Structures are given as C-alpha cells and as structure tokens.
Chain A
Amino acid sequence: MEFSGSPAKYRRFAIISSITLNGYLYAGLAALQYWANGSTWLFGWKPVLVTVVFTALFAYLSYRWMMRLDARYGTGRGWTLESRRLKLPERALRR
C-alpha cells in the first residue's frame, strides 16, 4: 500500500488550513471583543493586514514543514541504513 501524501496535497492542505484557522481566530477574537467590550480595534486595517500576512506566512511555513517531515526535501545523507538482525521488545497485550 502506497502512502497517499504528495506535494500538491500538502500545498493545498497548508493553504486551506491556514486560511480556515487564522480566519476563525481573527473572526472569533473580533466578535468576542466587540460583544464583550464594544471594542472595534480589530476591525481596523492594521489587524486585518497582520492576519493576512501571518496567514500567508503560516501557509508557506506549513507546506515547507510538511515536505521536510515527509522527507521530500534533503537527501538524507546524514543517515545511513544498516541492516541488522535484531529482536524488538514488544509489550504483551492485556486482555
């Protein structure tokens, strides 16, 4: 069975999740601040700009991070694979 991850899927996931998560946090915080204090400072252009920039940055970093975790970047030269005969300790299953 082949693992279904691919760069295109990671990119799509990074973009969609970053927009969803940061949109939710911005909207939630703005709504709570308005509801509890009548405060409108989050509706100004600066908080919106910070949210948009952070969303883009987080999407980019998430994509790079996933690619690195999934060994899509780097050659793995820091590691060698050594074949050994070994016994692995396994915990007995309690029923």
Chain B
Amino acid sequence: MLQFLTAVVSPYYLYIKFAHVTAALGWIWSAATAYAYYLLPVMKAWRRNPQDPEIIPVRNWAVERFEEAVIYEHVFFPIVLVTGPLMYLAAGFRPGVAWMDLKLLIVIGLFIPIEVMDYYMSHFGGNKRRIRASGDMQRYERMVHRHWWFMLVTTPAVMVYGLLIVLLAIAKPI
C-alpha cells in the first residue's frame, strides 16, 4: 500500500513541495505583523492601565480583528499537514532520519495541540465576536483573558520552534 502511494505521488514531488513550503511560510508569518504591530501595543497598553475604561473597547476590537487576521494562518496549517505526509511518501522517507524525526515530533507534540487550541479560541467556542453578540460579557472578559494567557505562554515556543522547523527542513543539520 505504501509503495503504491509512493509511486502515485512521487512524480509530483516538486509541486507538493512548492505547496508545502508556501503554506508553511504562510502559516508561520501571515499573522506576525498583525500580532507585533497592532495587537501587542494595545494589549500592553491594557496591561499597563488595566483600570482605564477607554482602553477596553480598543482591546476588544483589536482581539476580534486579530481573530480574523489568523484566518490565513489557519487555512495554511491544514495544507501543511496534508502536503507534509505526501512529501514524506513521495520522497520515500522512513523513520530514522534525525532532522525529519525531530521536525515531526515538534509538529505533532507542540504545534498541533497549539493550533487546535488556537482554532477553538479564534473561530469556535472562544470566538469573541460571537460571545459579544450573545451578550454574555462576563464570559467575553474571561475568554479575552484566557486568549491572552494562551498568547503569552505560546509565543516563545512558537517563535523558537517555528524557526527550528524551517532550519531543520532547509539545513538538515542532524
């Protein structure tokens, strides 16, 4: 079965690679500007002045806009997850190639759980616009806090291990 799949996809290796690399870079960088230059200044202003009532509407607006800004990221991520195994098959990889093993461990153990949480926070049960429309402003505030917690604790890992994945894929140092 694996040999059959490898034979089917291997002629398209470079096209799959094109889709994979494009999607991976889009996934990693598409929300970076929105995060660094639009969301962060507002969130930091809120954290420095948590009692200022004029900051809260801007914070809420920025968070809701950011939840839309990550749509590109969340479209690219499934493309990465589909084209990655296709490339694996097309290139005839087997377990034991160290850089590939480490890359897969990072994606499976770190990024998939983070993205599942991020999908929930941004587009499903944690979507702030829908919670605001429901009128439950206590839940809204709670979910903004939870989302900020999520961003605080995942940002270092996302930046360091996101770049490490690209390094492993390009330089193949181990």
**A-to-B contact residues, CB < 8 Å:** 1-5, 10, 13-14, 17, 21, 24-25, 28-29, 32-33, 35-37, 39, 58, 61-62, 65-66, 69-72, 76, 79, 81, 83, 88, 90-91, 93
Contact = CB atoms under 8 A, between A and B. Distances in A.
Main secondary structure of the interface of B (DSSP, over half): helix
Q: What 7 pairs across the A-B complex have the smallest Cβ distances?
A: A36-B96, A62-B156, A71-B47, A36-B95, A71-B44, A65-B156, A28-B105
A81 B105 contact: no
A25 B57 contact: no
Nearest to A68: B44
Contacts of A83: 54
B66 interface: no
B101 interface: yes
Contacts of B57: 88
Contacts of B152: 5, 10, 66, 69-70
Contacts of A76: 44-45, 48
Given A36-B95, A36-B96, A24 B49 contact: no
**Secondary structure dominating the interface of A:** helix
B34 interface: no
Contact of A21 (B68, B110, B133, B145): B110
A76 B109 CA distance: 36
A14 B148 CA distance: 16
Contact of A29 (B94, B101, B148, B149): B101
A17 B157 contact: yes
B105 A93 contact: no
A21 to B, nearest CB: 6
A71 B156 contact: no
Contact of A66 (B64, B68, B95, B156): B156
B61 interface: yes
22 contacts: A1-B142, A2-B50, A4-B149, A17-B157, A29-B105, A33-B96, A35-B95, A37-B96, A61-B160, A62-B156, A66-B152, A69-B40, A69-B43, A69-B151, A70-B44, A71-B43, A71-B44, A76-B45, A81-B55, A83-B54, A88-B58, A90-B64
Interface centre among A35, A58, A69, A72 (most CB of B within 10 A): A69
A1 B43 CA distance: 15
Contacts of B78: none
B109 A33 contact: no
Contacts of A62: 156-157
Interface in B64-82: 64, 68
